[in-house]
């Protein structure tokens, strides 16, 4: 049985220093619209994406709002499609835009692997 760690499965956290960032003030109050902007060719993957779901949630001791969205990336004939969940949050001080992304082959998002990948995204919060 293969574990979650392989060349197609990845978890990344990116912290971007910004000025006066708030999730709603910067990305808008609609998580779906925010996801569509971030997944567009201008900002996101350079391959076609399909948004599966998006929502807002409050997480952590500081009650920080996050946007979470799930999507697939079509890599064409080059490779099998990817499936990802990204969680977007802003720091309490408003000086950072933080993104966690869990990505794996689309076909890996089944059974126990699916549960494990989703738990990684669900557990992400800023402290």
pLDDT digits (tens, 9 = 90+) for 7-62: 788 999 999 999 999 999 999 999 999 999 888 866 666 788 999 999 999 998 88
42 CB-contact burial (10 Å; exposed 0-12 / middle 13-18 / buried 19+): exposed
Q: Rounded to whole angstroms, how far apart are CA atoms 40 and 43? A: 6
pLDDT digits (tens, 9 = 90+) for 77-124: 989 999 999 999 999 999 999 999 999 999 989 888 899 999 999 999
pLDDT digits (tens, 9 = 90+) for 55-87: 999 998 889 999 999 999 999 998 999 999 999
State the pLDDT confidence band at 1, using cuts at 50, 70 and 90: very low
> pTM of the predicted model, to two decimals?
0.88
């Amino acid at each position: 049985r293969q574990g979650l760690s392989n060349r197609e499965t990845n978890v990344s956290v990116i912290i971007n220093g910004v000025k006066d960032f708030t999730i709603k003030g910067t990305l808008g109050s609609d998580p779906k619209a925010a996801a569509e902007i971030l997944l567009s060719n201008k900002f996101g993957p350079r391959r076609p994406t399909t948004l599966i779901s998006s929502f807002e949630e409050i997480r952590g001791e500081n009650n920080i709002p996050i946007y979470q969205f799930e999507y697939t990336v079509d890599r064409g004939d080059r490779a099998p499609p990817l499936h990802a969940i990204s969680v977007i949050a802003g720091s309490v001080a408003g000086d950072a835009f933080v993104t966690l992304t869990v990505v794996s082959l689309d076909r890996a998002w089944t059974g126990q692997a699916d549960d494990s990948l989703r738990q990684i995204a669900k557990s992400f919060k800023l402290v």
